[in-house]
Amino acid sequence: MIDLANNFITGFDQHPQFLPWVCLEFFDMSYNKLQGRLPMSPQTIVAYDVSNNYLNGEIPPWICELKFLQFLDLSSNQMTGTLPSCFGNLYNSLSVLDLKQYSFHGPMMNTCTQGSPLKKIDLSKNQFSGQVSKIPKDFKLLSFNFNNLKSFEQSCLS
């Protein structure tokens, strides 16, 4: 576990591209001053929080390979682009997803996957478009405000 939240850390001196701890499960660097691209995490990561920093670029495809990831908070950075096409693969493990306050765009992703543990999702303050898909009734938090959504399926709350 590494918790260095609420400091003034701007980056890593020796390994700016990846996190060198191969057995790391919990990584919290929220509320710092991290800059540059999202640091690549080890496959063992369960919780990854780099919210409220100055990270930029797109969400890299390697994020979809994190099979144990349950908590992902990348909110309030300066990232842009579309979500990787493989992003739906994370729904088999994720319970919390927070990507609020970005400039992400593209079609709204499908939030309803049979047997998914996903219970909290915040995609507010982005530029997603299209239609909100079916939403399981056991969701705890669902926020899509301030996007470019066009419709909400009648059968969303099943």
Q: Which domains does the chain have, with CATH numbers?
A: 1-157 (3.80.10.10)
Nearest to 72 by CA among 106, 110, 120, 34: 120
148-to-130, 137, 151 alpha-carbon distances in Å: 7, 23, 10
pLDDT of residue 152 exceeding 80: no
Give the position of tokens 């979500």: 83
Tens-place pLDDT, residues 16-31: 555 777 789 999 999 9
Is the pLDDT at 58 greater than 80, yes or no?
Answer: yes
The confidence score (pLDDT) of residue 17 equals: 55
pLDDT tens, position by position, 2-11: 888 999 988 8
pLDDT at 158: 46
Question: 77 with 58: CB under 8 angstroms?
Answer: no
**What local confidence, expressed as pLDDT, does residue 15 receive?**
52
Least confident of 92-96, 119-123, 144-148: 144-148
Sequence-distant (6+) residues with CB within 8 A of 23 are 42, 44
| SS3 per residue for the chain | CEECCCCCCCCCCCCCCECCCCCCCEEECCCCCCEECCCECCCCCCEEECCCCEEEECCCHHHHHCCCCCEEECCCCEEEECCCHHHHHHHHCCCEEECCCCEEEEECCCCCCCCCCCCEEECCCCEEEEEECCECCCCCEEECCCCEEEEECCCCEC
Looking at residues 40-53, what average pLDDT do you find? 93
* pLDDT band, residue 116 (cuts 50/70/90): confident
% of the chain surpassing 90 pLDDT: 28
More confident residue, 90 or 129: 90
Say which residue the tokens 């470019």 belong to. Answer: 148
